[in-house]
């Protein structure tokens, strides 16, 4: 893929610098819910491809909290609506989508269960997201126990 160079103004650069990729509000809310339930985890494990937001290493469960814009939620529709610097944003977001797929494939190959939640899913239904994580952990926990027998 050819690199696309795009130089931003100092003002735009300052605004972009304020955008967080770690410890976002939805991610913190999900972590807080899991902590209240007594689950202990690692955050942003750099040894794993994609640096998952939440990792349960003993149960091989990796959780990502994806931002709608950056990871291409309903990308086919939103792609058409981009006006300013469309070529730059299309290339950037499509590369993020590809990187997400690569991370998923790598983690699956290492035996991990990968869960990805959109930010709006966590905001609207944090209980459902938490339940999905608990189910994945219990499934892997059961496999771990039966594998030793």
* Nearest CA-CA partner of 44 in 60, 32, 27, 29: 27
Question: CATH number for the 20-148 domain, one of 3.90.600.10, 3.30.70.2190, 3.40.960.10, 3.40.50.620?
Answer: 3.40.960.10
pTM: 0.81
* Interatomic CA distance for residues 83 and 89, integer angstroms: 10
Q: What is the mean pLDDT of residues 62-67?
A: 93
For residue 68, how far is the Cα from the chain centroid?
10
Q: What is the mean pLDDT of residues 38-54?
A: 94
* Interatomic CA distance for residues 81 and 69, integer angstroms: 12
Confidence of residue 24 (pLDDT cuts 50, 70, 90): confident
The angle at the Cα of 53, spanning 105 to 33, to the nearest 5 degrees, equals: 125
Q: Parse the chain into domains and list their residue ranges.
A: 20-148
pLDDT of residue 89: 85
pLDDT of residue 13: 67
Say if residue 5's pLDDT is above 80: no
Q: What is the mean pLDDT of residues 38-51?
A: 93
Confidence of residue 51 (pLDDT cuts 50, 70, 90): very high
* Interatomic CA distance for residues 148 and 69, integer angstroms: 43
């Amino acid at each position: 893929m050819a690199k696309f160079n795009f130089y931003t103004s100092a003002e735009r650069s300052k605004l972009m610098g304020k955008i967080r990729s770690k410890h976002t509000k939805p991610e913190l809310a999900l972590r807080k819910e899991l902590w209240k339930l007594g689950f202990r985890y690692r955050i942003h494990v750099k040894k794993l491809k994609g640096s998952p937001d939440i990792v349960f290493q003993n149960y091989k469960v990796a959780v990502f909290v994806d931002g709608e814009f950056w990871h291409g939620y309903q990308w086919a529709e939103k792609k058409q609506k981009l006006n300013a610097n469309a070529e730059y944003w299309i290339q950037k977001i499509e590369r993020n989508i590809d990187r997400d797929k690569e991370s998923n494939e790598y983690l699956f190959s290492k035996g991990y269960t990968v869960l990805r939640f959109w930010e709006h899913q966590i905001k609207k239904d944090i209980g459902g997201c938490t339940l999905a994580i608990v189910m994945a952990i219990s499934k892997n926990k059961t496999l771990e126990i039966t594998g030793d027998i």
